[in-house]
Structure 1
């Protein structure tokens, strides 16, 4: 092994950590590959590929006449996505260059992540949305096939805020967003004409959450550890198959 910067050999202190060599006569490469198949289809593609391969809830597979290879009822049945809501930091379009959304803050308990950006609405004007997402939601959804054609997208329903605890957390998230939008730093950025009437009352926050919840593009748990794959990412009862994106 070479150091790519210096071109000199790297001497490893613990040689036992190197991957085992394939000795002649013990195991060939095709056999090794068949015993260690990894797929990288991520949270939506992974359960879809398993279902199309005959791994999943028998009732759903029979609907498409897919032969059952392994009956695993939780494939695609614990889908989650981190719900997100946003507020406008100012309701007036201003002349400002566009800027992509960036993480602006993370709560101490890592529960809320705030991002902000500059959203262009014309050649010389932009709006300033501030958004936050809820990490680790409890609400679960489901992924279903629409056909046996891999090129056709499956149907996914995330059931955002269907759990009361998620709605409660979303209200807290909305209150946090309002404090951010009304902070001295944001007020100083927009100047004396900064409008505070874009904010809503605390009694309106549950309705705001339900009406304006959207995706943060952080889908996960299409193939959950413990019900579909083990801690080594191996599909239960199909041990040569591993799921990298779940």
Structure 2
């Protein structure tokens, strides 16, 4: 390590975790239909039951309530309980808070990478970096979606919670650096996915307040929707009569006092359905817990009865690997989350943010949570030794730094999800197999090489110390406890090894209930009636640079489709 890097070491903290995080939107009061699950009746009936009040679930439930009664179950609380958390300055405080009732639930993949699951109304839009960008045209075409309806669904979301960001000094230098590094042309502000460098939308308003998918419930009919908070779904119920296909007919959920409640589909309409929108971790997990999955695996965990031997549930798990570089600045930088994306012609996207800081107490609290979770899941001691060595390091805290990340597109590498136990509130066992495919690894190298060019560019030079190079800054990340993976001495000289050693998540995990494998093109679970999955677990790859726009759009898009089917059914029934 050269002398300049050594001097800069004291500026770096575990702030590498800034690359995704959260707050949410400002609300004067509560929706009238938000209730604690403890107030739920023992038995209730609805036309549609949506499990998961997250990025897709809020859009889906709000849409369905236009013409049917809807129950939305959310295992977490309301983002409106803490208005201060809407401030951009609380981004990391929200994201790294992993206490039992927090909005962010820590989980660690079998690959040794820290990840996080949202448990709050609004889902991941409450704990992310806010960047809003639509899917690429090819993704829409491959999904078989109607382009005009997709456009209308995106606009429905954007009217409620998306803004044009205010680009200041650090982000301007980042743009200029990307262009100098060859990520051209400059496309200005746009929601579209276009090759080159662009400014995307953000769900943070000009005052730094966050707006989330929960705000889409403003579209809901308050007379037809009920939202239960702190409602943990335990099992989807099925009717299994003779040789007929299993048919979903309800859900069992538990409130915060441990009392169980049953919600069932109203019997008056055969079009009524259960819709699973619990996210890429919880949706396949709940299918397994409900008896839909590989029969042998279900039997191993005592899941009874097995409703359907469905071997693809939990398969095809993907998570876009992320690698980061932190750049200490000789001058103050603004606090900014992701506002700009570089979209090169190779399979990696470049994003950046600046000026975020951590308190030592917050850092220690987060790693206390890591250690507690490691003890719970009984990871091998050998895996932990490197982590504890890194954790012994002490760093000062600074806001005078920027960060750049590369996210591998796709990815091609795939893993799987399995039950660890039968408690739906616990994390299942998830393996993503980061960088298993050589093409993913090559794209990482290309992405990091581009970041190094941006840092070394003339246009970015005022935001780094004299004599510091992009390549030299890689040493900083290697010294931080960013994951549980081993470090190799040749990482600084071999970018492929560096990618493997310093891999993190950008929290864009998907798969487990993929289209064509677990659900059909209408998101109906194969082999089961009255049950759909509508969330990122159905994706074969991540849409665009950041998926939240498309996940919210999907909730609206599928909701509209279901309502049309419902109307057609009722019309046909009347004619008969």
The 8 Å contact of residues 130 and 181 in structure 1, kept in 2 or not, is answered as no
Structure 1 counterpart of 2:313: 75
2:332 is paired with a residue whose SS is coil
Alignment partner for residue 213 of structure 1, among 495, 503, 518?
503
**Residue number in structure 2 paired with 1:238:** 528
Q: Distance in 1 between matches of 2:352 and 2:326?
A: 10
CA distance in 2, matches of 1:110, 1:184: 23
Q: For 2:412, what is the secondary structure of its paired residue? A: coil
Name the structure 1 match of 2:341: 105
Matched with 2:49 is none
Q: Deviation of residue 111 (structure 1)?
A: 3.3
Counterparts in 2 of 1:194 and 1:30: CA distance versus 1, 3 Å: farther
Aligned mates of 2:397, 2:333 — CA distance in 1? 9
How far does the alpha carbon of each residue in 1:57-89 deviate from its partner, in whole angstroms, 9 at most, with x for none? 111101111121111111112100011111123
Whose helix fraction is larger, Structure 1's or Structure 2's? 2
CA contact under 8 A between 1:175 and 1:202: conserved in structure 2? no
The CA distance in 1 between the partners of 2:450 and 2:518, in whole Å, is 36
Q: 1:110: how far off? A: 7.8
Equivalent residue, structure 2, for 1:170: 444
Gaps of at least 5 residues in structure 2 are 1-66, 69-264, 359-395, 476-490, 538-576
Equivalent of 1:140 in 409, 414, 420: 414
The number of residue pairs the alignment matches comes to: 219
* Aligned equivalent of 1:114: 350
SS at match of 2:530: strand
Change in CA separation of 1:171 and 1:206 when aligned onto 2, cut-off 3 Å: same
Confirm whether residue 198 of structure 1 aligns to residue 476 of structure 2. Answer: no
Distance 1:39 1:230 in 2: 14
Q: Quick check: 222-231 or 117-126, which moved more? A: 117-126
Distance 1:103 1:205, change over 3 A: farther
- Tell me by how many angstroms 1:32 deviates: 3.0
Q: Give the drift of 1:99.
A: 2.1
| Counterpart in the other structure of 2:273 | 36
Report the Cα offset of residue 202 of structure 1. Answer: 8.9
Equivalent residue number for residue 185 of structure 1: 459
DSSP 3-state at the match of 1:114: strand
CA contact (8 A) 1:38 1:242 kept: yes
Once the 2 structures are TM-superposed, how far is the Cα of residue 194 of structure 1 from its aligned partner? Answer: 5.6
Alpha-carbon distance in structure 1 between the residues aligned to 2:402 and 2:274 = 46
1:152 aligns with 2:426: yes
Does the Cα contact within 8 Å between 2:492 and 2:498 map onto a contact in 1? no
CA distance in 1: counterparts of 2:506 and 2:524, whole angstroms: 28
Check the 8 A contact 2:315/2:417 in 1, yes or no: yes
Using the size of structure 2 for normalisation, the TM-score is 0.35
Task: Choose 1 or 2 for highest CA Rg.
Answer: 1
Q: CA deviation at 1:108?
A: 4.1
| Over 4 Å off, 4+ runs | 121-125, 199-203
Aligned CA distance change for structure 1 residues 166 and 65 (closer, same or farther; 3 Å): same
- Is 1:96 the equivalent of 2:386? no
Under a length normalisation based on structure 1, what TM-score does the superposition of the two structures give? Answer: 0.79
Secondary structure at 2:353 match in 1:
strand
Mark the CA change 1:166 to 1:243 in structure 2 (over 3 Å): closer, same or farther: same
1:203 CA displacement = 5.0
Give the aligned CA root-mean-square deviation in angstroms. 2.8
Q: Which of 310, 323, 336 in structure 2 is aligned with 1:85?
A: 323
